Protein backbone atom coordinates (compact mmCIF):
# COMPACT_ATOMS: atom_id res chain seq x y z
CA UNK A 1 0.00 0.00 0.00
CA UNK A 2 1.35 3.45 -0.89
CA UNK A 3 0.39 6.59 0.98
CA UNK A 4 1.74 9.95 -0.28
CA UNK A 5 5.12 8.50 -1.30
CA UNK A 6 5.13 6.26 1.74
CA UNK A 7 4.80 2.47 1.67
CA UNK A 8 3.13 0.10 4.13
CA UNK A 9 3.59 -3.66 3.72
CA UNK A 10 2.11 -6.23 6.10
CA UNK A 11 2.17 -10.04 6.18
CA UNK A 12 0.37 -12.16 8.77
CA UNK A 13 0.08 -15.91 9.24
CA UNK A 14 -2.80 -17.23 11.33
CA UNK A 15 -2.72 -20.06 13.86
CA UNK A 16 -5.92 -21.77 14.89
CA UNK A 17 -8.31 -24.38 13.54
CA UNK A 18 -11.72 -24.06 11.84
CA UNK A 19 -10.76 -20.87 10.03
CA UNK A 20 -9.88 -19.02 13.23
CA UNK A 21 -6.29 -18.40 12.19
CA UNK A 22 -7.29 -17.04 8.80
CA UNK A 23 -9.80 -14.69 10.40
CA UNK A 24 -7.26 -13.56 12.99
CA UNK A 25 -4.59 -12.82 10.37
CA UNK A 26 -7.03 -10.93 8.15
CA UNK A 27 -8.26 -8.86 11.09
CA UNK A 28 -4.71 -8.09 12.19
CA UNK A 29 -3.61 -6.92 8.73
CA UNK A 30 -6.71 -4.81 8.25
CA UNK A 31 -6.45 -3.19 11.68
CA UNK A 32 -2.73 -2.42 11.45
CA UNK A 33 -3.12 -1.07 7.92
CA UNK A 34 -6.03 1.17 8.88
CA UNK A 35 -4.14 2.53 11.88
CA UNK A 36 -0.96 3.33 9.96
CA UNK A 37 -2.87 4.85 7.05
CA UNK A 38 -4.85 7.08 9.38
CA UNK A 39 -1.77 8.00 11.41
CA UNK A 40 0.25 8.88 8.31
CA UNK A 41 3.47 9.21 10.32
CA UNK A 42 5.86 6.31 10.75
CA UNK A 43 7.78 6.12 14.01
CA UNK A 44 8.76 3.18 16.17
CA UNK A 45 5.95 4.15 18.52
CA UNK A 46 3.28 4.47 15.83
CA UNK A 47 4.24 1.06 14.44
CA UNK A 48 4.07 -0.48 17.93
CA UNK A 49 0.66 1.17 18.35
CA UNK A 50 -0.43 -0.40 15.04
CA UNK A 51 0.55 -3.83 16.37
CA UNK A 52 -1.42 -3.13 19.55
CA UNK A 53 -4.39 -2.13 17.39
CA UNK A 54 -4.03 -5.41 15.48
CA UNK A 55 -3.85 -7.33 18.76
CA UNK A 56 -7.10 -5.75 19.92
CA UNK A 57 -8.76 -6.78 16.64
CA UNK A 58 -7.72 -10.40 17.20
CA UNK A 59 -9.72 -10.46 20.45
CA UNK A 60 -12.78 -10.99 18.26
CA UNK A 61 -11.43 -14.46 17.38
CA UNK A 62 -11.08 -16.47 20.61
CA UNK A 63 -8.40 -19.19 20.66
CA UNK A 64 -6.88 -17.92 17.39
CA UNK A 65 -3.48 -16.30 17.02
CA UNK A 66 -1.43 -14.81 14.23
CA UNK A 67 2.08 -13.74 13.45
CA UNK A 68 2.65 -10.35 11.87
CA UNK A 69 5.45 -8.62 9.97
CA UNK A 70 5.28 -4.93 9.05
CA UNK A 71 7.51 -2.69 6.98
CA UNK A 72 6.92 1.06 6.76
CA UNK A 73 8.97 3.07 4.28
CA UNK A 74 9.26 6.86 4.23
CA UNK A 75 12.13 8.21 2.18
CA UNK A 76 15.41 6.95 3.58
CA UNK A 77 13.83 5.55 6.73
CA UNK A 78 12.41 2.05 7.04
CA UNK A 79 10.75 0.67 10.16
CA UNK A 80 10.49 -3.08 10.56
CA UNK A 81 8.27 -4.77 13.14
CA UNK A 82 7.35 -8.39 13.73
CA UNK A 83 5.75 -10.76 16.18
CA UNK A 84 6.23 -14.51 15.76
CA UNK A 85 8.07 -16.12 12.85
CA UNK A 86 6.94 -14.09 9.86
CA UNK A 87 10.08 -12.34 8.71
CA UNK A 88 11.40 -9.08 7.28
CA UNK A 89 14.58 -9.11 5.17
CA UNK A 90 16.52 -6.15 3.77
CA UNK A 91 18.95 -6.55 0.87
CA UNK A 92 21.65 -4.18 -0.35
CA UNK A 93 24.00 -4.85 -3.25
CA UNK A 94 22.38 -8.27 -3.57
CA UNK A 95 23.16 -9.33 0.01
CA UNK A 96 21.04 -9.58 3.15
CA UNK A 97 21.94 -6.78 5.54
CA UNK A 98 19.00 -7.23 7.93
CA UNK A 99 16.93 -10.24 8.91
CA UNK A 100 14.36 -10.23 11.71
CA UNK A 101 14.82 -12.89 14.39
CA UNK A 102 11.90 -15.26 14.96
CA UNK A 103 10.10 -15.41 18.28
CA UNK A 104 10.37 -19.19 18.36
CA UNK A 105 11.93 -22.05 20.30
CA UNK A 106 14.18 -22.90 17.35
CA UNK A 107 15.47 -19.30 17.12
CA UNK A 108 16.20 -19.46 20.84
CA UNK A 109 18.20 -22.63 20.19
CA UNK A 110 20.30 -20.63 17.71
CA UNK A 111 20.80 -17.86 20.27
CA UNK A 112 22.24 -20.28 22.85
CA UNK A 113 24.40 -22.07 20.29
CA UNK A 114 22.55 -25.38 20.15
CA UNK A 115 21.93 -25.17 16.39
CA UNK A 116 22.97 -22.95 13.50
CA UNK A 117 20.64 -20.51 11.78
CA UNK A 118 20.48 -22.81 8.74
CA UNK A 119 19.23 -25.66 10.96
CA UNK A 120 16.07 -23.79 12.03
CA UNK A 121 14.16 -25.13 9.01
CA UNK A 122 14.45 -28.75 10.12
CA UNK A 123 14.37 -28.26 13.88
CA UNK A 124 11.98 -30.44 15.89
CA UNK A 125 10.47 -27.39 17.64
CA UNK A 126 10.24 -25.24 14.49
CA UNK A 127 6.54 -24.51 14.95
CA UNK A 128 6.65 -23.59 18.64
CA UNK A 129 6.30 -19.83 18.97
CA UNK A 130 7.32 -17.78 22.00
CA UNK A 131 5.26 -14.77 20.95
CA UNK A 132 2.19 -14.20 18.76
CA UNK A 133 -0.61 -11.68 18.26
CA UNK A 134 -3.25 -13.41 20.37
CA UNK A 135 -5.57 -10.75 21.77
CA UNK A 136 -3.84 -10.79 25.16
CA UNK A 137 -3.52 -7.83 27.45
CA UNK A 138 -0.22 -6.62 26.02
CA UNK A 139 1.78 -7.34 22.89
CA UNK A 140 5.35 -6.27 22.24
CA UNK A 141 6.67 -6.25 18.69
CA UNK A 142 10.34 -6.42 17.81
CA UNK A 143 10.92 -3.07 16.11
CA UNK A 144 13.98 -1.85 14.22
CA UNK A 145 14.58 1.46 12.48
CA UNK A 146 16.64 0.91 9.33
CA UNK A 147 18.25 3.18 6.75
CA UNK A 148 16.93 2.66 3.23
CA UNK A 149 18.96 3.46 0.12
CA UNK A 150 18.23 3.51 -3.59
CA UNK A 151 18.32 -0.03 -5.04
CA UNK A 152 17.68 -1.65 -1.66
CA UNK A 153 15.16 -4.49 -1.66
CA UNK A 154 12.87 -5.88 1.03
CA UNK A 155 11.08 -9.19 1.52
CA UNK A 156 8.30 -9.85 4.02
CA UNK A 157 7.15 -13.45 4.27
CA UNK A 158 5.50 -16.08 6.42
CA UNK A 159 7.28 -19.25 7.52
CA UNK A 160 5.59 -21.27 4.78
CA UNK A 161 7.65 -19.21 2.34
CA UNK A 162 11.09 -18.89 3.95
CA UNK A 163 11.13 -22.54 5.04
CA UNK A 164 11.26 -23.52 1.34
CA UNK A 165 13.57 -20.80 0.02
CA UNK A 166 17.05 -20.40 1.47
CA UNK A 167 18.67 -17.05 2.06
CA UNK A 168 21.29 -17.87 -0.60
CA UNK A 169 18.49 -18.48 -3.11
CA UNK A 170 16.80 -15.20 -2.17
CA UNK A 171 20.05 -13.37 -2.89
CA UNK A 172 20.76 -15.21 -6.15
CA UNK A 173 17.25 -14.66 -7.51
CA UNK A 174 17.38 -10.97 -6.65
CA UNK A 175 20.77 -10.59 -8.36
CA UNK A 176 19.42 -12.12 -11.56
CA UNK A 177 15.98 -10.53 -11.71
CA UNK A 178 16.27 -7.13 -9.99
CA UNK A 179 12.62 -6.01 -10.04
CA UNK A 180 10.20 -6.91 -7.25
CA UNK A 181 7.58 -8.71 -9.36
CA UNK A 182 9.84 -11.17 -11.17
CA UNK A 183 11.94 -11.72 -8.04
CA UNK A 184 8.84 -12.77 -6.12
CA UNK A 185 7.62 -14.93 -9.00
CA UNK A 186 10.94 -16.82 -9.14
CA UNK A 187 11.00 -17.48 -5.40
CA UNK A 188 7.34 -18.52 -5.46
CA UNK A 189 8.18 -21.06 -8.18
CA UNK A 190 10.74 -22.58 -5.83
CA UNK A 191 8.16 -22.78 -3.04
CA UNK A 192 5.52 -24.44 -5.22
CA UNK A 193 7.97 -27.07 -6.47
CA UNK A 194 8.96 -27.98 -2.92
CA UNK A 195 5.56 -27.94 -1.24
CA UNK A 196 4.00 -31.18 -0.02
CA UNK A 197 0.52 -31.89 1.29
CA UNK A 198 1.89 -31.02 4.75
CA UNK A 199 3.27 -27.64 3.73
CA UNK A 200 1.84 -24.41 5.11
CA UNK A 201 0.14 -21.79 3.00
CA UNK A 202 2.37 -18.79 2.53
CA UNK A 203 2.29 -15.03 2.08
CA UNK A 204 5.10 -12.87 0.74
CA UNK A 205 5.66 -9.28 -0.40
CA UNK A 206 8.70 -7.90 -2.21
CA UNK A 207 9.70 -4.26 -2.55
CA UNK A 208 12.57 -2.75 -4.56
CA UNK A 209 13.61 0.88 -4.31
Rounded CA separation 145/149 (Å): 13
Q: How many domains does the structure of the chain reveal?
A: 1
pLDDT in tens, 83-95: 999 999 999 999 9
Query: For residue 99, what is the DSSP state?
Result: E
Nearest alpha carbon to residue 38 among 4, 80, 73, 75: 4
- The reported pTM is 0.95
Percent of the chain with pLDDT over 70: 97
Percent of the chain with pLDDT over 90: 85
pLDDT at 111 over 90: yes
Out of 2-6, 159-163, 185-189, least confident range: 2-6
SS3 172: helix
pLDDT in tens, 20-57: 899 999 999 999 999 999 988 899 999 999 999 999 99
Rounded CA separation 139/82 (Å): 11
Rounded CA separation 96/154 (Å): 9
SS3 90: strand
pLDDT at 18 over 70: no
Rounded CA separation 91/99 (Å): 9
**Boundaries of domain holding 170:** 2-208
DSSP secondary structure, 2-65, as one string: EETTEEEEEEEEEE-TTTHHHHHHHHHHHHHHHHHHHH----HHHHHHHHHHHHHHHTTSTT-E
pLDDT of residue 19: 73
Q: What is the CATH number of the domain that holds 173?
A: 3.60.40.10
Beta bridge partners of 13: 67
Q: Quick check: 98 and 146 in contact, CB under 8 A? A: yes
pLDDT category, 150, cuts 50, 70, 90? very high
Amino acid sequence: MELKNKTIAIVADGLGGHGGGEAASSSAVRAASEYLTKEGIFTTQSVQDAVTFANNAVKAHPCAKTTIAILCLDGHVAISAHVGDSRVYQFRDGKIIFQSMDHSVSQMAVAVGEITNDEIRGHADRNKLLRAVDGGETIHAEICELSAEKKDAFLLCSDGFWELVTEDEMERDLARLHDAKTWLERMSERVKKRQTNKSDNYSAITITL
